[in-house]
Homo-oligomer: A and B are copies of this chain.
Amino acid sequence: MTTTATRPAPHAEATAPTTLTLAKAITAALHDAMAADEKVLLMGEDIGRLGGVFRVTDGLQAAFGEDRVVDTPLAEASILGTAVGLALRGYRPVCEIQFDGFVYPAFSQIVSQLAKMPARLAGAGTVPVVVRIPYGGGIGAVEHHSESPEAYFAHTAGLRVIAPATPQDAYWMLRQALTQPDPVVVMEPKRRYWDKGAVTAGAASLAEAPALHSARVARPVSAERAAAGGAVTVVAYGPTVRVALDAAQAAAEEGVELEVVDLRSLSPLDTGTVVESAQRTGRVVVVHEAPVFLGMGAEVAARVTEAAFHSLEAPVLRVGGFAVPYPAARVEEHYLPDAERLLDAVDRVLAR
């Protein structure tokens, strides 16, 4: 590593809101984090010259050099394993996994090393590695490119797991992840990469950002409306937040109010926000793309039911993928939960 990376000029982070796609909001977050902390470095397949298959790291190698934006050999176990080593040396590696289905070769490193190293070190070191995983379906892709493996990580003690749904959250949450002392898995909703939204960037904007592990009421229902009955809490995250908002709009036209909670963080889970909403509406539906069986919805349902049992008018219902491998793209629309399917569950939870 004799080449010295071109160091960007001291970077005045932008603060005025701009319109960015979710993908570009991540690019901006990575850029700003790298400028702010020279220990941040990026590792992954094709992330340098190519800028990543989704172009999320586009321009970053040119800006920060090959030592900080590392095109790695094709080996996910070692991307994670070397990241652990780099973190032990004081670096903050951000690992890009090219697609959801390719994270499994790294599973042992993630579950047995990254997640457990802090407990093993017992205070004598940290491994603040960030793992970025473009995930989820709906992009018409071939096998292994449309999966939703978040439950594996959320069930793993020692990891933090987040799933931004909007460009602004993508920016904020990634920047926050990059100040965490713990490993963070970022589930990036790949079919929303091209969705646009206003993003306030820069260090100053981080002060406005909600806490990393808080949920967000993406569409509130007023206390009165909730008290009147016929309102339902819909819990979503990542790619299904858009589905939930679409459903909410359709439901509103039929006089049903959906309070949409965007979880944002999957582990730890902001149970409080969901429970509070559930207590007001008395009805909850959870929606995600992963198979329902032992998906995030199971935990949300179990936890919310435990905390709000006597407020619930109906069991928490779950809408999600089926108990089969992700199907061929030509039928994925039948696999993925859409607004229609969500509204069907809303009807059921309302006993309509």
Q: Which residues of A contact B (CB under 8 A)?
A: 77, 101, 104-105, 107-108, 111-112, 115-116, 119-120, 143-144, 151-152, 154-155, 157-158, 267-269, 290-291, 293-299, 301-303, 305-306, 309, 312, 314-318, 322-325, 327
Contact = CB atoms under 8 A, between A and B. Distances in A.
Given A105-B108, A108-B105, A318-B302, A116 B325 contact: yes
10 contacts: A104-B108, A116-B143, A116-B325, A151-B294, A154-B293, A155-B155, A157-B291, A294-B296, A298-B298, A302-B318
Nearest to A117: B325
A158 B120 CA distance: 34
Most B CB contacts (10 A, CB to CB) among A101, A108, A290, A316 go to: A108
B295 A155 contact: yes
Given A111-B104, A112-B104, A305-B316, A157 B295 contact: no
A314 B309 CA distance: 7
Given A111-B104, A120-B143, A143-B120, A157 B318 contact: no
Contacts of A158: 324-325
Contact of A107 (B108, B157, B301, B322): B108
A324 B158 CA distance: 6
B316 A306 contact: yes
A173 to B, nearest CB: 20
Contacts of A305: 301-302, 305, 315-316
A60 to B, nearest CB: 28
| A-B interface, 3 closest residue pairs, ranked by CB to CB distance from nearest | A104-B108, A298-B298, A301-B302
Most B CB contacts (10 A, CB to CB) among A303, A323, A324, A325 go to: A325
A142 to B, nearest CB: 11
Contact of A152 (B155, B157, B291, B325): B155
Given A104-B108, A119-B324, A325-B115, A299 B293 contact: yes
Given A155-B291, A269-B293, 14 more contacts: A104-B108, A115-B325, A116-B143, A154-B293, A155-B290, A158-B324, A267-B293, A268-B323, A293-B299, A294-B294, A294-B296, A301-B301, A301-B305, A302-B318
Contacts of A297: 302
Given A291-B157, A298-B302, A299-B294, A112 B108 contact: no
